[in-house]
Amino acid sequence: MDDLDQRKRGLWGSKVGSIFAATGSAIGLGNIWRFPTKVSENGGAIFVLIYILAVVLIGLTVMLAELVIGRHSQRNPVGAFKNIKPKTPWKFVGYLGVLTGILILSYYTVIAGWAAAYILKTAKGTFRGNITSESVHQVFQEFSGNPVQVTLFFFFAISITCFIVSKGIKSGIERWTKILMPFLFLLIVFLAIRALTLPGASEGISFYLKPDFSKLSGAVVLFALGQAFFSLSLGMGMMITYGSYISKSDNLVSSAGWVCFADSLVAFTAGLIIFPTLAFAGILGKVKGESLIFEGYPLIFSTIPGGYILGTLFFILVLIAAITSTISALEVAVAYFVDERNWSRGKAAWLVGLCAFLLGIPSALSFGGMQVFTKIKVLTRVDFVCANVSPAVGALFICIFIGYAWGIKNAVKEIRSGNPRFRLQPIWVFSVKYLSPIAIIIILYFIKTATG
Ligand code: PHE
């Protein structure tokens, strides 16, 4: 691709901007909503331990692998495989990514809509005064069972996403992420300090940080790996797409390392807030599933003077974190239609958004509203496939592609542009060629146990 074409596609304004944007994609509901949910469902600290191992041993490897493919080809995931290995079936790995991105968008934005609704609820004072775990539970039930409200907020969240993506790379995605992410982090740290000083916090902390090895199972490992991929936005071409906007002089290794570190730190801190709070309220282990943070957070705000203002701010930031992720999910598909099908950015963003909206309606109604959807809990099922199965398969193929199809030498050459020394080369090569693919295959085997 020549310079002119690349300028037309857009590039990140700076290295910091590109890292912020990738971190923005990574940090989202996956950290604040999904991570605590999965920890609570999968035995607490043992899950946290396996999760950390999955990030360090596999996540980092795959992150760098995707960034390399993206920057080398400077294309969307489908175009990237076509560009490096023309006329081969490798492009289907890219299609899988585009499809997963759209599916993730479809249900993830539902939860983003919940966060939007909770901004208003908190600001209105719904959680002020003497609230109890029962009253918070009831608020959630009423809200999530109201099909009109849920769908409206879902529509709202998807519309903002389409709007930002239609505006393009530098002025849209990068600008917003840079301004807003640091705020979120500061607030989370503040809340964690508050949660850790609540009476009874220690029970929550030991659930969260003291591993009980008897709870280790194949399913726990599968869910932990899935959570690592989901949280780092890996295995579906997201980081290929973002890598395609990174300049040749940037150091991809440090970018990958930073994104993994920042993402894990936020998830970890989110756990430090929620588990002590649940223990304090006496509901640790009793609330599980998708409603966990929506029932847990209001409780901590009620322990802080003026907490409802902080609570409002918190849900605003959660919504922003979610939106910086939804725009990345949409961006994968949009980059595909812009690069490969010559659509305009605006048309691609709004049409794909509409598709995701229609696809997401069963998820939106799966907590009440329509029995067909509540019975099978559509959202939970779509989430299972999009977070555990599809990214793992995608990541497996990405490793095999680099190790055996494109060739490790070519990948290393691309990494050395911007990082001439590449000290971690032997470890990365070993992980891409052997460790990560073998581990993923073994873990995928547990799907059977996880689905019962
Ligand atoms: N990484 C995002 C999060 O943790 C989720 C996500 C995955 C978003 C894949 C887009 C694509 O919230």
Give the phi and the psi of residue 368 in degrees, each rounded to 5. Answer: 140, 155
3-class SS at 369?
Answer: strand
Whether 221 contacts 446, CB under 8 Å: yes
Rounded to two decimals, the pTM is 0.91
Q: Which residues contact 272 (CB under 8 A, 6 or more apart)?
A: 192, 195, 196, 205, 208
Mean pLDDT of 67-79: 94
* CA–CA distance, 84 with 91 (Å, rounded to integer): 10
Whether 360 contacts 382, CB under 8 Å: no
- CB of 22 closer than 6 A to ligand 1? no
- CB of 324 closer than 6 A to ligand 1? no
* CA–CA distance, 259 with 277 (Å, rounded to integer): 28
Report which ligand 1 atom has the smallest distance to the Cα of 328. 10
pLDDT tens-place string over residues 217-234 = 999 999 999 999 999 999
How is residue 304 written in tokens? 């802080």
- CB of 238 closer than 6 A to ligand 1? yes
Closest to 169 in 3D by CA, of 248, 231, 96, 76: 76
Q: How far is the CA of 303 from the centre of ligand 1 (A)?
A: 31
- CB of 325 closer than 6 A to ligand 1? yes
- CB of 109 closer than 6 A to ligand 1? no
pLDDT tens-place string over residues 275-308 = 999 999 899 988 888 888 899 889 888 888 888 8
Share of the chain above pLDDT 90, in %: 66
| Residue recorded with tokens 């902080």 | 310
- DSSP-assigned letter for residue 368: B
Q: How far is the CA of 30 from the centre of ligand 1 (A)?
A: 6
The secondary structure of 193-258 as a DSSP string is HHHHTSTTHHHHHHHHHS--GGG--HHHHHHHHHHHHHHTT-SSSHHHHHHTTS-TTS-HHHHHHH
Q: What is the pLDDT of residue 26?
A: 92
pLDDT tens-place string over residues 177-192 = 677 778 888 889 999 9
* CA–CA distance, 153 with 364 (Å, rounded to integer): 10
Q: 368 pLDDT exceeds 60? A: yes
Q: How far is the CA of 232 from the centre of ligand 1 (A)?
A: 7
- CB of 44 closer than 6 A to ligand 1? no
Whether 357 contacts 106, CB under 8 Å: yes
- CB of 231 closer than 6 A to ligand 1? yes
How is residue 144 written in tokens? 């999530």
Residue whose Cα lies nearest atom 10 of ligand 1: it is 329
Q: How far is the CA of 428 from the centre of ligand 1 (A)?
A: 24
Mean pLDDT of 413-419: 94
Give the phi and the psi of residue 211 in degrees, each rounded to 5. Answer: -65, 140
- CB of 77 closer than 6 A to ligand 1? no
Whether 113 contacts 126, CB under 8 Å: no
Mean pLDDT of 341-367: 94
What is the signed CA dihedral for 228, 230, 233, 238, rounded to 10 degrees? 130
- CB of 104 closer than 6 A to ligand 1? yes
Residue 1: pLDDT band with limits 50, 70, 90? very low
The backbone region for 132, taken as left when phi is positive above 0, alpha when psi lies in -120 to 50, beta otherwise, is beta
- DSSP-assigned letter for residue 366: B
- CB of 240 closer than 6 A to ligand 1? no
Rg (CA), the chain: 21
